[in-house]
């Protein structure tokens, strides 16, 4: 067996890395498609590509944005992106669309919701399916961020699927996690997940215009009171309001992000956070890869459907089935009397 395949992968990765670094948008899209692929040969090339681009990453502001459906995330991101581009920055938006649990399909309609931003030469919008990954982000979102940074984008926005208990993984890959809220009060305020509010570095009440302007002011006051004691290190979580539709308050949001960046760079929190995120990324990749290899293992595949059926029917307890399948994966004989014997 020769080393032709590894050499071809390295050569392709070098060429693609050069094109990405030169600002070739088609190469950027191809690079993200490559890292999202699950084919073994593509993964080898993707890893070589990331290794080549890694020295040119890390120089962006990484933002995560989440919020309940209907809060106006896409409208906000478009207004925000155009404002930041107007200040001389380049913005990449990695928008993660929910995948159907039945078909695995996604609508991927973010570009249709950000028409003006998608047309700007200093913006790049990449919708990706969330697939089976929990956390409201696609499995390869972290790698896509690095590729966008290497391509010269200095503001990276990750738009998550929405608000839910499992959709907090974005906080493990960004410098600032922003939570968008609707003007609300009373019962609506109680319905917001406490956990995701505690993760937020910045809370922004959107749609603060028209008939909702007064309600938005009350919502901001309520959240400022509720979050008065919440601190992330030296940073006290601000609560702001804006109208993405009317493009008001967006400048204050960007200014606040700049203040957070300056503080966390000065006190070392940004570097510490990114180091912790890299370690979390390592273990996330280990878990995902182990599950992929577990499912693909011939001995596991031979028994998986039967044991799943037995667990569903209530004739085998899940723990016993799991131990049997793990034994298959590790090459251990099934224990005497087990369902896999």
- Given this model, what pLDDT does residue 120 score? 96
- Domain span(s) for CATH 1.20.5.170 in the chain: 1-55
pLDDT band, residue 129 (cuts 50/70/90): low
| The pLDDT of residue 202 is above 90 | yes
**Domain 57-266 maps to which CATH number in 3.40.50.300, 3.30.300.30, 3.40.50.12140, 3.40.50.12780?**
3.40.50.300
- Given this model, what pLDDT does residue 84 score? 98
Who's near 276: CB < 8 A, 6+ residues apart? none
| The pLDDT of residue 106 is above 70 | no
CB 97 within 8 A of CB 168: no
Which pTM was predicted?
0.84
* Mean pLDDT for the chain overall: 85
- Domain span(s) for CATH 3.40.50.300 in the chain: 57-266
CB 62 within 8 A of CB 145: yes
Side-chain-facing half-sphere of 217: CA atoms under 13 Å: 5
Report d(CA 180, CA 183) in Å as an integer.
10
162, two tokens: 């929405």
DSSP states along 48-108: HHHHHHGGG-S-SEEEEEEE-TTS-HHHHHHHHHHHHHHTT--EEEEEEEPPPTTT-----
Phi-psi sector, 65: left (phi>0), alpha (psi -120 to 50), beta: beta
For residue 158, the cross-strand partners are 64, 94
Is 1-55 assigned to CATH 1.20.5.170?
Answer: yes
Which of the pair, 261 or 161, is modelled with greater confidence?
261
Give the range among 140-154, 284-298, 327-341 with minimum mean pLDDT: 327-341
Phi-psi sector, 249: left (phi>0), alpha (psi -120 to 50), beta: left
The runs of H, that is alpha helices, within 213-334 are 213-226, 250-266, 269-296, 298-313, 318-330
Segment 284-293 mean pLDDT: 90
- Given this model, what pLDDT does residue 329 score? 95
| The pLDDT of residue 165 is above 50 | no
Give the range among 69-78, 90-99, 219-228, 283-292 with minimum mean pLDDT: 90-99
39, two tokens: 């084919």
| The pLDDT of residue 111 is above 60 | no
Q: Which residues of 282-293 are buried (b: 16+ CB within 10 A; e: fewer)?
A: eebeeeeeeeee
- Given this model, what pLDDT does residue 341 score? 43
CA dihedral 219, 221, 223, 228 (to 10 degrees): 180
């Amino acid at each position: 067996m020769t080393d032709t395949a590894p050499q071809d992968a390295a050569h392709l990765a070098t060429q693609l890395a050069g094109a990405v670094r030169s600002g070739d948008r088609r190469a950027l899209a191809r690079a993200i498609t490559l890292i999202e692929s699950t084919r073994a040969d593509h993964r080898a090339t993707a890893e070589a590509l990331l290794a080549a681009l890694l020295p040119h990453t890390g120089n962006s502001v990484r933002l995560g944005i989440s919020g309940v459906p209907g809060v106006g995330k896409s409208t906000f991101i478009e207004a925000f992106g155009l404002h930041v581009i107007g200040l001389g920055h380049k913005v990449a938006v990695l928008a993660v669309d929910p995948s159907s649990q039945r078909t695995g399909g996604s609508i991927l309609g973010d570009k249709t919701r950000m028409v003006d931003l998608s047309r700007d030469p200093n913006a790049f919008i990449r919708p990706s399916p969330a697939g089976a990954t929990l956390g409201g982000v696609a499995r390869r979102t972290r790698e896509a961020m690095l590729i966008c940074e290497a391509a010269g984008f200095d503001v990276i926005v990750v738009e998550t699927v929405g608000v839910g208990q499992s959709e907090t993984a974005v906080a493990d890959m960004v410098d600032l996690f922003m939570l968008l809220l609707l003007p609300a009060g009373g019962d609506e305020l109680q319905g917001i997940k406490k956990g995701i509010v505690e993760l937020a570095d910045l809370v922004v009440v959107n749609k603060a215009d028209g008939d909702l302007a007064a309600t938005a002011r009350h919502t901001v006051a309520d959240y400022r009171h509720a979050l008065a004691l919440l601190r992330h290190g030296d940073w006290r979580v601000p609560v702001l309001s804006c109208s993405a539709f009317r493009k008001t308050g967006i400048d204050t949001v960007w200014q606040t992000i700049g203040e957070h960046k300056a503080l966390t760079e000065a006190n070392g929190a940004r570097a510490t956070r990114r180091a912790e995120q890299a370690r979390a990324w390592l273990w996330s990749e280990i878990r995902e890869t182990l599950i992929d290899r577990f499912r693909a293992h011939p001995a596991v595949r031979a028994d998986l459907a039967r044991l799943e059926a037995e667990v569903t029917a209530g004739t085998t307890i899940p723990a016993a089935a799991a131990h049997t399948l793990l034994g298959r994966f590790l090459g251990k004989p099934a224990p005497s009397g087990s369902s896999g014997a």
